[in-house]
Amino acid sequence: MKHRIYFGSLLVVAILVPPAYGQETEPQKSFSGEVRLGFESTTGNTDIQSLAGAVSAKYLHGLWVYTGRISGSGRQDAGIGTEEQYHAELKVERHYGEKNYLYGQILYDRDRFAGVVRQLYETVGYGRRIVKTEKHELNLEAGVGARQTRLLDNTEADDAVLQLGGDYRWQINEHVSFKQELTVNYGSDNTYTMSLSTLESALAGNLSMLLSYRVENNSEVPAGSRKTDTKTMLALGYKF
């Protein structure tokens, strides 16, 4: 609980305290986002096909970058009830030059029928842009933080984590792009690994079609639960 309050306070301060700039310098500002809606197929602790959606947003304010993402899927099953999966993420970056930045992040994952039902992370860390060209971009990150976990058997645990991650973007051509995200959270109770691969093709105007494949693995789960879950999503996206 102390870890959660401490790291949560750091992120709240980063979000609420406006960045300082000289009076003669007007910081660059921009806002963008995307809405996705489609179908998702999951394997692992649940094998279902369901309706899925996601909303993401990005706000640039000078040297500061604010990003948020919410996604979820669900289906009503008469046999076992409502199958629900949610993911929420809030991240704040403070950049120093073109390559280096510090970040604070909150991650929330909930999967009603997975071995690990709920995970909440609060992390702070350092990121570096390794590659930046017209076609390729690679960023790597390392951080520390706290995690609160609830298992399927209602066991709860709090522990500290070491977070390693990165993302790679490849602009294949004018209309098609590929993105790979990878996050690993090492802790004394569990190691959580997430990989998300997304192929996107522009259609017309702000519309696009996306195919994504997400893999989540927990090293420690209750007896009878599977360690790995996968989610394949085919969706339409609208950028704004």
- Tell me if 224 is assigned to some domain: yes
Average pLDDT of 41-51? 87
The domain containing residue 215 runs over which residues? 2-19+29-239
Please report which confidence band the pLDDT of residue 78 belongs to, taking 50, 70 and 90 as the band edges: very low
- Tell me if 217 is assigned to some domain: yes
- Tell me if 24 is assigned to some domain: no
pLDDT digits (tens, 9 = 90+) for 180-196: 999 999 999 899 999 99
What DSSP string runs through the chain?
Answer: -HHHHHHHHHHHHHHHSPPP--TT----EEEEEEEEEEEEEEESS--EEEEEEEEEEEEEETTEEEEEEEEEEEEEETTTEEEEEEEEEEEEEEEETTTEEEEEEEEEEEETTSSEEEEEEEEEEEEEEEEE-SSEEEEEEEEEEEEEEEETTS-EEEEEEEEEEEEEEEE-SSSEEEEEEEEEEEESS-EEEEEEEEEEEE-STTEEEEEEEEEEEES---TT--SEEEEEEEEEEEE-
pLDDT digits (tens, 9 = 90+) for 161-184: 999 999 999 999 999 999 999 999
pLDDT top residue among 10 and 157: 157
**CATH number where 198 lies:** 2.40.160.40
The number of domains in the chain is 1
Average pLDDT of 125-135? 97
Average pLDDT of 112-121? 80
